[in-house]
Amino acid sequence: MGRKILVVDDDRKTVALVKLYLERDGFSVSCAYDGNTALDLARREKPEVVVLDLMLPGVDGGEICRTLRDESDVAIVMLTARAALEDRVAGLDLGADDYVVKPFSPRELTARVRAVIRRLPSETIFRGPEEIRQGDLVLNLRNRNARVGVRELKLTPVEFRLLAVFAAEPGRVFTREQLVAKVYGYDFDGFDRAIDATVARLRKKVEADTSHPRYLRTVYGVGYVLSGEAT
């Protein structure tokens, strides 16, 4: 059987269409039509990717995303009719790895799922040393662990990928557009705001004092940099 995917949507026609295309691509697909069933299946079957609608009966998609992100590193692709940029940023801020707007192309959704899987830790895109150290900040790229000193960091997959991009080239200033391409793998129009939100979350987890960041610094008018000094 192929990699496990869980598709969650209260529209059964949408679920059937997504299931058809994913199974054609070799995936093993489970389906849920409400939030409670989705959480139960995710916990029992441990899929690699959850394709998740936001508007669901019972537990809504946002709460499911928060819960799964607290419990696991499962990749989450949101599939929703909420098309506003603010909704997309909010979805990514919850910890989603990608965001697809309805009406959608099932072929594009399948491609997005494949892209998310390629970015999973077991098939990491990062090259070079297994462990990166920058001051007290330590990242293990194979195990997807990060810590500052002895304090373990609980990072979402998107947060870890972003931090790893910075850590691989400390001192390099990245524009938001460069970070979008490296973290999401797509040219997401307007998703520079998603990068801002992710950096803000990272600072809360990495920095002792977010008002005076030691590691993740802003280069005004340009982008962000992981300080090469970290002193």
CA distances from 75 to 52, 92, 118 (A): 10, 12, 11
pLDDT at 193: 72
Query: Has residue 231 been placed in a domain?
Result: no
> Which pTM does this prediction carry?
0.64
Domain limits for position 90: 4-118
Co-location of 109 and 140 in the same domain: no
Residue 108: which CATH number? 3.40.50.2300
pLDDT digits (tens, 9 = 90+) for 160-170: 888 988 988 88
End of a domain among 118, 138, 159? 118
Average pLDDT over residues 180-194: 65
pLDDT at 42: 93
Co-location of 41 and 112 in the same domain: yes
Within the chain, residue ranges assigned H as helices are 12-24, 35-45, 61-71, 85-93, 106-118, 157-168, 176-184, 192-206
End of a domain among 89, 118, 147? 118
End of a domain among 87, 118, 149? 118
Co-location of 113 and 8 in the same domain: yes
Rg of the chain taking only CA atoms, in angstroms: 18
Co-location of 214 and 178 in the same domain: yes
Question: Structural domain tally of the chain?
Answer: 2
